[in-house]
Amino acid sequence: MELLERFAAGDLEAFEVLFRQHQREVYAWIVRIVRDKGIAEDLTVETFWRIYKYRARFKPDGNFRAWARRIGTNAAFDHLRHARHETPLPEDVPCAAGADPAVRREVRDQIRNAFYELPAKYRLVATLALVEEESYADIAQAVGISEALVKIRVFRAVRMLRKKLNSLGVEVIAK
C-alpha cells in the first residue's frame, strides 16, 4: 500500500514519515504568517494533529503538500484571530538590512503597530503578499479563496493601513 493510502487508513508510521517529510515546509509557511518561532512550532504540531484527525477526508491521490499548507494556514489564521490582543508584537525590529535610515524608528514602530492592528483576515494576506512577497496564486490556494479575492483583501489592507498611518500623522502616500 502506498504511503498516502496507509496514512489515510490511520497508519501512525506512515503519518510519521509524512510529518518528517513536510514539517519544515509547514513550519516555514506558518512562521511567515505568525512571525514567532515558538508559536509557529506549536501551530505546526496543531496542524499535523488536524491533518491526522481529518485523515479520512484526504484522498490518497490528492496533493498532500497543498492540503497540509491549507490546514496550516487555517491554524495560523485561528491564532491571529484569537491572540491579537493577548500576545506582544513579534520582534521584527531591527528592521531589514536595506531599511531607509531616513525612516525614523518611531515611524517604523507606528507602521508595525498599524500593521498588527489589521483584522486577522486582512493581516494574513497582507503579510504573505506585501511582506513575504508570496504570489497571489499561492496565497489563494493556501487560504482557499480566489486570486481576485486575495487582491481585493490586499488592497483593502493597504487602504486601512494608509488611513491609520495618515491619522497618526505619517503621510506615507499623498491622498
Partner 1 sequence: MSNDEITKKMKELLKQAISPVKESDPRRDLWPQMLAKLEEQPAGAHAIPWFDWALAALAGAALIFFPGIIPALFYHL
In the complex, the residues that contact partner 1 under the rule CB under 8 A are: 10, 16, 19-20, 23-24, 27-28, 31-32, 35, 37, 40-41, 44-46, 48-50, 52-56, 92-93, 95-96, 98-100, 103, 107-109, 111-112, 115, 130-133, 154-155, 158, 161-162, 172-174
Shortest distance in whole angstroms from residue 60 CB to partner 1? 14
Q: 70 vs 108, which CB is nearer to partner 1? A: 108
CB of 123 or CB of 143, closer to partner 1? 123
- Grid cell locating 94: 531591527
The minimum distance between CB 66 and partner 1, in angstroms, equals: 18
Q: Which is nearer to partner 1, 35 or 121 (CB)?
A: 35
Closest approach of Cβ 68 to partner 1, in Å? 13
Q: Is 31 helix (H, G, I), strand (E, B) or coil?
A: helix
Find the shortest distance in angstroms from Cβ 2 to partner 1: 18
CA dihedral over 54, 59, 61, 62, signed as positive or negative = negative
CB of 140 to partner 1, least distance (A): 16
Q: Which is nearer to partner 1, 3 or 45 (CB)?
A: 45
Is-contact 28 14, C-beta < 8 A? no
| CA 65 distance to own-chain centroid | 16
| Number of Cα atoms under 13 Å in the Cβ half of residue 63 | 8
Q: How many CB atoms lie within 10 A of CB 106?
A: 9
Task: State the minimum distance, in angstroms, from the CB of residue 61 to partner 1.
Answer: 18
Rounded to 5 degrees, what are φ and ψ at 12?
-65, -35
CA 158 to chain centroid = 17
Buried b (16+ CB within 10 A) or exposed e, 26-39: bbebbbebbbbeeb
- Beta carbon nearer to partner 1, 41 or 117: 41
